[in-house]
Structure 1
Amino acid sequence: MTNMTVTQWFELPVLAPAEVVIGIAGDLLQRDLVKLCDAAVGNWHGPPQIGLDELRDCVRTRPFIRGREHLSEAVGLARQTVDSPPETDLRLWAVEVDLPEPVVHPQILSRILGRIVEPDLGYPDARLALEYEGGHHFESKRQRESDLRRDEALRAEGWTVLHVTSNTNYILLEAQIRDHLGLEPRPGHHSRYRR
C-alpha cells in the first residue's frame, strides 16, 4: 500500500495536490483530467499548488497508479500558467483539429503600455492572439476597459486578436486560424468538439 502525502491547509490535514490528481485520474475523461492538471500547476484562483515537473515526477515514480497511461498523457498535455478551464478547452481543441498547439500566455512587450502583455493563447511567429472571454469580461466595466487596452497594445505590436466566447462558431474559428497561419483548410474535416 502506498502512503499518501498530506499537507496542511488552514491548519487542517488535506491530501497533497499530486495525491488528488493520482487518486481520481482513472475516473475522469482525458479533457477533464488535463483541466485538473492545468489547475494544479496553473494560476486558477491563486498560485500553483504543485510544479509541473514535480507532478510529472510523482506520476513517474509512483509504483501503482490506476490508469497510469491515461494520467501520463494528461500530465504531458498540462501547461503552466493556464488561468481557466476555457483556456484549456481552447488549447486542446486547437490540437484536436490539427492546428499547431498555441503557446499559453506568450509574452509581448508593449511599447504603448511600457510592459509585457500576455494574451491567453497565441502563435508568436504569426502574431496571432486568442482571447477567451467569459461572462465577466462583458459584465465588468473595469475588465472590459482592461481588455480593450490589451487589444490595442497587441494590435500596435502587429498582432491580430481573435476573441472566443461560449457562442463562438468553432468551424469559423478554425478557418480563421488556418488562414492567418497560412495553413490549408482541411476539406471534409469537422471537429468532434462541440461547444
Structure 2
Amino acid sequence: MTSPARTWLDLASSGCTEEDLVVAADRLITRRHTLATVHDLERILLRHPGARGIRTLRAALEEAIETSDSSRETRLRVRIIRAGLPRPVAAFVVRDEQDRFVATTDLAFPDHRVLLEYEGGQHLIDRRQWAHDLARFNRFQQLGWICLRIGADQFADLDATIRLIAATPATARASAPPSAPPSA
C-alpha cells in the first residue's frame, strides 16, 4: 500500500501522459474529499529527484488545481491551455448585477463573459437536474454570459470542441494574435 502522493509519483513510470498526471493530481488535491495536498505532491518530487518521469510530473503539478470537480473538466482545461486559448477559471462564481450568487460554473473566461458547462449523463436522466440546468442556463443568458454546454459527444471530439470554444466571439478576440501594423 502506498500513499496517494507516492501513487501519483509511480503513475509517471507506468506510461501516463502529462494530461493523465494533471487529472490524477487534480483528483488528489481537490477541495472535495482531499486525498493529498499540493505540499504532499511537491514533497514527494523533492524526495525522488531522479524518479522516472520527474519532468512530466513537475509540469503536471504546475497545471494542477484544487477547484476541479471532474476529470473531464480537467482534461478540457488542459486542452484549452495547450490550444493557446486564455486560461479558463475552474469553479468560477457567477454573480448578478447586485453581486448576489447565481451559480458556480465548471470553467469560465470571466474577462470575456464565456462559460463552459460539462453536462454528464445524470443531467439528462434526472428531471430535477435537467430543470435546474435549463433555468441556470437561461439565467446566464439573461446576465449577458455566453454559455457553451458540453456533453459526452462534444467531449469525444475535443479538437472540435476546442475549435468551437475558439470560435466563440469573445474568446476568439482574446486568443487572436495582435494584428500587424499597417504598412507604410
After TM superposition, the score normalised by the length of structure 1 is 0.75
Alpha-carbon distance between aligned partners in 1 of 2:107 and 2:18, rounded to the nearest angstrom: 21
173, 177, 183: which is aligned to 2:166?
177
5, 26, 32: which is aligned to 1:38?
26
81, 96, 99: which is aligned to 2:85?
99
Runs of 4+ in 1 over 4 A off after TM superposition: 111-114
Is it true that 1:25 corresponds to 2:12 in the alignment? yes
* Identity rate, percent: 27
| Structure 1 residue 102, shift from structure 2 partner | 0.9
| Alignment correspondent of 1:145 | 131
34, 46, 51: which is aligned to 2:37?
51
Write 1 or 2 for the structure with the bigger share of helix.
2
| Structure 1 residue 136, shift from structure 2 partner | 1.3
Say what the alpha-carbon RMSD is for the aligned residues.
2.5
What is the count of residue pairs matched by the alignment?
170
The change in CA–CA distance for 1:91 and 1:123 in structure 2 (over 3 A counts) is same
Secondary structure, counterpart of 1:79 in structure 2: coil
Letter of the 2:75 partner, please give it. D
Alpha-carbon distance between aligned partners in 1 of 2:8 and 2:106, rounded to the nearest angstrom: 24
The change in CA–CA distance for 1:59 and 1:163 in structure 2 (over 3 A counts) is same
Indicate conservation of the 8 Å contact 2:116/2:149, yes or no: yes
Larger RCO (CA under 8 A, 6+ residues apart): 2
Indicate conservation of the 8 Å contact 2:79/2:162, yes or no: no
After TM superposition, the score normalised by the length of structure 2 is 0.79
